[in-house]
Amino acid sequence: IHILAIESSCDETSAAVLSDGKVFSNYIANQTVHEQYGGVVPELASRAHQENIVPVVDMALRKAGVDRSELSAIAFTQSPGLIGSLLVGNCFAKAMALALNIPLIAVHHMQAHVLANFIEDPKPEFPFLCLTVSGGHTQIVLCESPLSMKVIGETLDDAAGEAFDKSAKLLGLPYPGGPLIDKYAQQGDATRFKFPEPQIPGLNFSFSGLKTAILYFLQEKQQSDPGFVQQNMADICASVQERIVSILMNKVVKAAKETGIKHIAIAGGVSANSGLRKALQAYSERHGWQYYIPKFEYCTDNAAMIAMTAWYKYQAGEFAGLDAVPSARAAF
């Protein structure tokens, strides 16, 4: 069984080929056009997808050594995401499925982020909890089987990735600032500055207060010393990262206690963060958890995770019709 998967929910155009459950190619075209605007411009993203999609699909098929005529199904990201971006992948997938007369599989992007943990061994044991932390979402997901998962906690405002990116912006770092905060943090002292931890009931998160706290902190410091940020960049980044990570991990501890589950996975772009990875390892040792982290290239947006999800759907006979339309927001 050969599945071609397409991911186009935000600003990465990606195609992957999976054969009998194994990923043979995962080609990702990053859109650089947005850098100058300090964030993703939806209209430009759609146009870039339109330009990228044919060559990206071509590269993925060639790298896998699979001919179009051998494909068993075509998968695409249906939601959530930017509607114009999703439409490009959706229309392309439908046209190709129709032309080849093979089934179409619609995939939920956040479910796919979780299932990125199944691309390589060791795969998580069910039931497990997944902390999905990306540019637009922060969720604790209770997973009972590949296609049966439930969000048991999520952010009430900003996502963890946004918290990183907005903090970076306040520090004058370019977009997306998450990876830069990570880089500076590695040389910094995380105990130097203390940022507040919000008191949010249950398993939900909030990051907007942190952003405000950082803003006021920087305003006050810069007033007496205009060179403050430049001179303390590493320590500020380390302290900010420490707080974001502790907000995330404290809720995971709570979720693990409440559910009694000791298998913990992370997923999404922020799971590339070195501080979060280290924390997950340290907490796992302390709490006796088994932990799982996808390979770096499967953390941020990629079509391999869409292909993996499609593989489970293929086996379950969950196909979409040619009337399948994308949606900007949808639960799974």
* Sites of contact with ligand ATP (CB under 6 A): 9-10, 81, 109, 113, 134-137, 161, 164-165, 176, 178-179, 182, 268-270, 272-273, 300-301
**Whole-angstrom distance between the N-terminal and C-terminal Cα of the chain?**
25
Q: Which residues pair with 6 in a beta bridge?
A: 15, 76
In angstroms, the CA 321 to CA 327 distance is 15
DSSP state of 136: S
302 known ligand binder: no
Shortest spacing between CB 317 and ligand ATP, in angstroms: 27
Residues making contact with Mg ion (CB under 5 A): 10-11
As given in the structure block, the two tokens for residue 249 are: 């991990």
309 known ligand binder: no
Q: Residue 158 belongs to what H/E stretch? A: none
Contact stretch for Fe ion (CB under 5 A) within 134-142, 148-156, 195-203, 242-250 = 134-142
In angstroms, the CA 17 to CA 144 distance is 26
Q: Judged by CB, which is closer to Fe ion: 134, or 167?
A: 134
User: Which of left, alpha, beta for 268 (phi over 0: left; psi -120 to 50: alpha)?
Assistant: left
| Distance from chain centroid for Cα 210 | 21
Secondary structure (3-state) at 48: helix
Residue 79 contact among Mg ion, Fe ion, ligand ATP, none, beta carbon within 5 to 8 Å by kind:
none
Secondary structure (3-state) at 113: helix
Binding-site member from 301, 306, 307, 312 for Fe ion (CB under 5 A): 301
165 known ligand binder: yes
Q: Judged by CB, which is closer to Mg ion: 11, or 182?
A: 11
Q: Which residues pair with 22 in a beta bridge?
A: 19
Radius of gyration of the chain (CA): 20
Beta-carbon contacts of residue 129 (< 8 Å; ≥ 6 apart): 140, 141, 142, 143, 252, 255, 256, 259, 261, 263, 264, 265
Q: Which residues pair with 39 in a beta bridge?
A: none
Residue 273 contact among Fe ion, ligand ATP, Mg ion, none, beta carbon within 5 to 8 Å by kind:
ligand ATP
189 known ligand binder: no
Q: Judged by CB, which is closer to ligand ATP: 105, or 244?
A: 244
Q: Judged by CB, which is closer to Fe ion: 93, or 171?
A: 93
Residue 84 contact among ligand ATP, Fe ion, Mg ion, none, beta carbon within 5 to 8 Å by kind:
none
Contact stretch for Fe ion (CB under 5 A) within 39-47, 69-77, 128-136, 249-257 = 128-136
For residues 194 and 180, is the Cβ–Cβ distance under 8 A? no
Residue 124 contact among Mg ion, ligand ATP, Fe ion, none, beta carbon within 5 to 8 Å by kind:
none
133 known ligand binder: yes
227 known ligand binder: no
Q: Which residues pair with 2 in a beta bridge?
A: 19
For residues 12 and 30, is the Cβ–Cβ distance under 8 A? yes
Contact stretch for Fe ion (CB under 5 A) within 66-74, 219-227, 256-264, 299-307 = 299-307
Q: Residue 54 belongs to what H/E stretch? A: helix 42-64
Residue 115 contact among ligand ATP, Mg ion, Fe ion, none, beta carbon within 5 to 8 Å by kind:
none
Q: Judged by CB, which is closer to Fe ion: 182, or 235?
A: 182
Identify residue 195 by its one-letter amino acid code.
F
Name the residue with the smallest CB distance to ligand ATP.
269
Shortest spacing between CB 132 and Fe ion, in angstroms: 9
Shortest spacing between CB 94 and ligand ATP, in angstroms: 22
273 known ligand binder: yes
Identify residue 247 by its one-letter amino acid code.
I
Site for Fe ion in 170-209 (CB under 5 A): none
In angstroms, the CA 263 to CA 27 distance is 30
Extract the annotated binding site for substrate: 132-136, 165, 178, 182, 273
Using CB under 5 A, list all residues that contact Fe ion: 134, 301
